[in-house]
Amino acid sequence: MKWLPDSKVSHLRAIAAEPDFSATKYTFVKELARGGMGTVYLADDTELNRQVAIKVLSTPELTEDLRRRMVREAQIIARLEHPGIVPVHDVGVLPDGRIFYAMKFVRGVRLDEYAANTESIKDRLRKFQSVCDAMAFAHAHGVIHRDLKPQNIMIGSFGEVLVLDWGVAKILQGDQSVASEADTLMLPPRGSNKAGDTAHGTVIGTRQYMSPEQARGEIGQLDERADIYSLGAVLYFLLTNQAPSEARPRSLNPKVTKPAEAVCLKAMAQDRSQRYAGAAELSADVGRLLDAAPVAAYRENVLEKVSRWVGKNRFLVLLVLAYLLMRIFFIFSSRG
């Protein structure tokens, strides 16, 4: 029997972990990414002759009730037509019982990769605002994402922003009161949130970007504000280059302004009633940040108002100052 070196063992391990798509219209191409919620593969859609991204969820149980509900939810999510949303094309179950979702395969960079190459906070905020707009659209259609994080947001080849991975999204309308065993959240142990982790018992969410109510497993209580928290966590990352922690953004990056920090912390409020009521409201405040206008999340004192006004109208201020200096110069020179 031939001895298998470590490299071959790793390769065979990857082969053995490949999903069995034999009962579907997809053929396996390669693994794209692996996370706590599941693994994303590139596959060929043999019927439509195109490539798709397929996420195979890491789920320990699949009841018939859950399967039906997931298919129905996938159908609703698939109807979300927005340029910032990559919807689910298809949902199914593999022979080993794992659930999979087929999504459009997007070529581009993830938001965390984009941030690594983009210094400008303004540029980052513009992308973030697009994410808020896409989420506002989804919320208006009664859909919450439940797993927003930089790794689930892509910047496409033309700079467009796309929210991915709606595989664990939830439909708020209709069955909000229906609680099933499948709705019970099981979280990875603390400290196991590395991107490469396949955490035991993980069903929904990524702890660092997850609202407190979601982390507590209060699934029936989740609404748009859970996503608002996650959006705030994404903003925290964009402002600090770090995943959310106890530290205030300004302590990690002194370039972050007080209003920007306030917007971030308001979105991430522990008490959800203190958060923005909707993604559109958050988007509007981010727009104000970009326009150097006063934001709803922060009450400025007079000095800050003046300072912001000066910062916003720097050219005008310089012009007035130059004019005044000239007048003073003429006054003194005419006296001399």
Partner 1 sequence: MDPDTDIGGAQQRFPVTNQSAIAAARSDDHVTRERAFATILNSYWKPAYKYIRLKWQANNEDAKDLTQGFFANAFEKNHFAKYDARKASFQTFLRTCLDGFVANQRKAGQRLKRGGDVNHFQLDFISAEDEIAMQAANVDPNNLSPEDYFHREWVRWMFTMAVNTLRVRCETAGRKVHFQLFEAYDLGDQDVSYSSLAQTFGLDQATVNNYLAATRRDFRRIVLEKLREITATDEEFRTEARSLLGVELK
d(CA 65, CA 51) in angstroms, rounded, equals 30
Residue 16 vs 302, nearer CB to partner 1: 16
CA distance 125 to 282: 12
Nearer to partner 1, 198 or 221 (CB): 198
Token digits of residue 70: 């997931």
Quick check: 129 binds partner 1 (CB under 8 A)? Answer: no
Residue nearer to partner 1 on the CB measure, 199 or 268: 199
Residue with tokens 């496409």: 156
- The DSSP bridge pattern shows strands 161-163 and 170-171 to be unpaired
Question: Does position 200 bind partner 1 by CB under 8 A?
Answer: yes
Contact 140, 129 (CB under 8 A): no
Point out which residues pair with 88 in neighbouring strands. 103
The upper half-sphere exposure of residue 12, i.e. CA atoms within 13 Å in the direction of its Cβ, equals 7
* DSSP classification of residue 114: H
Size of the site for partner 1 (CB under 8 A): 32
Please tell me whether residue 58 binds partner 1 under the rule CB under 8 A. yes
Query: What end-to-end distance do the CA atoms of the chain give, in Å?
Result: 105
Task: Identify which of 31, 35, 69, 10 has the alpha carbon closest to the alpha carbon of residue 219.
Answer: 69
17 binds partner 1 (CB under 8 A): yes
Active site residue 96: no
Piece of 27-35, 163-171, 232-240, 273-281 that binds partner 1 (CB under 8 A): 27-35
DSSP state of 256: S
| Active-site hit among 45, 90, 147, 285 | 147
The answer to whether residue 6 forms part of the interface with partner 1 (CB under 8 A) is yes
Among candidate residues 79, 81, 75, 78, the one with its CA nearest the CA of residue 134: 81
State the minimum distance, in angstroms, from the CB of residue 68 to partner 1: 16
The residue from 40, 53, 54, 59 that contacts partner 1 (CB under 8 A) is 59
Q: Which of 50, 60, 178, 241 binds partner 1 (CB under 8 A)?
A: 60
Does residue 247 bind partner 1 (CB under 8 A)?
no
Nearest to 84 by CA among 288, 279, 295, 289: 279
Binding test (CB under 8 A) with partner 1, winner from 48, 50, 68, 97 = 97
- Choose between 17 and 328: whose C-beta lies nearer to partner 1: 17
In the list 25, 34, 141, 308, the residue contacting partner 1 (rule: CB under 8 A) is 34
Residue whose CB is less far from partner 1, 94 or 252: 94
Q: Which of residues 21 and 298 has its CB atom nearest to partner 1 in the complex? A: 21
Binding of residue 98 to partner 1 (CB under 8 A): yes
Q: Which residues of 208-227 are buried (b: 16+ CB within 10 A; e: fewer)?
A: bbbbebbeebebeebbbbbb
User: Where do contacts with partner 1 occur on this chain (CB under 8 A)?
Assistant: 1-6, 8-9, 11-13, 15-18, 20, 22, 27-28, 34, 39, 56, 58-62, 96-98, 198, 200
Catalytic residues: 147
